[in-house]
Amino acid sequence: MALNVLDLEKPIAELDKNIAALKTVSEEEGVDRSVEIAELESQRDNLISQIFANLSAWDKTLIARHPSRPYTLDYIRAIFDDFIELHGDRLFADDKAIVGGFASLSGRPVMIVGHQKGRDLKERQYRNFGSAKPEGYRKALRLMKMAEKLGIPIISFIDTPAADCSFGSEERGISEAIARNMYEMSMLTVPVVVVVIGEGGSGGAIGLAVGNRILMLEHSVYSVIPPESCAAIIWRDPTKGPQAAECLKITAQHALENGLIDEIIPEPLGGAHRNYDAAAASLKAAVIRNLEELSELSAEDYAKDRYAKFRNMGIFGTEPQE
């Protein structure tokens, strides 16, 4: 855990350590230190509130990429019952960077698709760091079309740095796969709720993100380009990611301000990674509420609603023409 502490979290981790030590001492010595512990805890929570009230876009980026942050399968375990994972695109392979399958959400069947990152080095490689290949997008599309056929809603979890750009992905048409998903998702006749849980990384994200509702966790980010790449282009200096993150305005708060997402899902104090259960509960409530609201639409309205939603995305002016 100590290895996974961000610089901005260090003062918090320090207090966490003191609290833990005090708890150990109190247990070992059988002395009641609860007053002291409570005081330290409230001190820590105040500190977290302070730090988290002033997060920069780059801080948010780091939290969104936090190695302890809950990933798609963590949310699936916490929120849904009877997850039945389905594999493969029926064309080439099973991409481990995207998971999907049936699950039950408060007794209702749903189809889940989502990017999956890995926790340790081995698992990260196994999941290709959450960077999906064409077969991942095609697997997701297969599952979404199945959901459409069966008339069950789709929930899509977004958490990827970018789509895979290996030679193999290029050979098998990564561009086509992403494009095809957006094309087909726009026409689905079932409700689609998209939740950005961590990193919404450009084309890799949008290939799973054409939904009726787009929700973002409080400390997730969504961007057209990784801030480091943007910095490399503008300033020829990839270390200026923090400045680029600010320019790109990649936070959930800015996305909401610009009308590009529908809702921000609050995270527990200090970020989702500090309390998986609370984060999952918050996410679950938001997804259920959005699905309930959407259930008032008819099958053909889902596609119309999605079309209108994305058709309206664009910020431009109009000059009169002669």
Partner 1 sequence: MAPDGWFRRKGNAAGKAARKHLDALPDGLWTKCPKCGEILFSKELEKNLKVCSKCSYHFKLGAVERLAIMVDEGSFVETDAGLVTINHLSFPDYESKLAKGCANSGLNDGMVSGTASIGGHSVVICVADFGFMGGSMGSVYGEKISRAFERGIETGSPVIIVNTSGGARMQEGLVSLMQMAKTSAAAAKFGRTGLMYISILTDPTMAGVHASFAMLADIIIAEPGALIGFAGQRVAAQAQVIKPPQGFQLAEFQLEHGMVDMVLPRRDMKDTLAKILAMGARR
DSSP string across 51-72: HHHT--HHHHHHHHT-TTS--H
319 touching partner 1, by CB under 8 A: yes
165 touching partner 1, by CB under 8 A: yes
Under rule CB under 8 A, which residues in 208-227 are in contact with partner 1? 209-210, 222-225
> Could you count the other beta carbons within 10 Å of the beta carbon of residue 59?
20
- What are the residues whose beta carbons fall under 8 Å from the beta carbon of 208, sequence distance 6 or more? 98, 113, 114, 115, 137, 140, 156, 158, 181, 185, 194
Indicate the residue among 153 and 200 with the shorter CB distance to partner 1.
200
182 touching partner 1, by CB under 8 A: yes
Per the listing, tokens 């408060």 go with: 106
Q: Give whole-number Cα distances, 210 to 26, 206, 237, 240, 303, in Å.
A: 52, 7, 33, 31, 10
178 touching partner 1, by CB under 8 A: yes
C-alpha span between 34 and 22 (Å, rounded): 9
153 touching partner 1, by CB under 8 A: no
**Tell me, what amino acid is at 322?**
E
56 touching partner 1, by CB under 8 A: no
171 touching partner 1, by CB under 8 A: yes
Per-residue mark of binding to partner 1, 232-271 (x: CB under 8 A): -xx------------xxxx---xx--x-x-----------
Which residues of this protein are in contact with partner 1, per CB under 8 A? 163, 165-167, 169-176, 178-180, 182-184, 186-187, 202-203, 205-207, 209-210, 222-225, 229-230, 233-234, 247-250, 254-255, 258, 260, 306-307, 310-311, 313-322
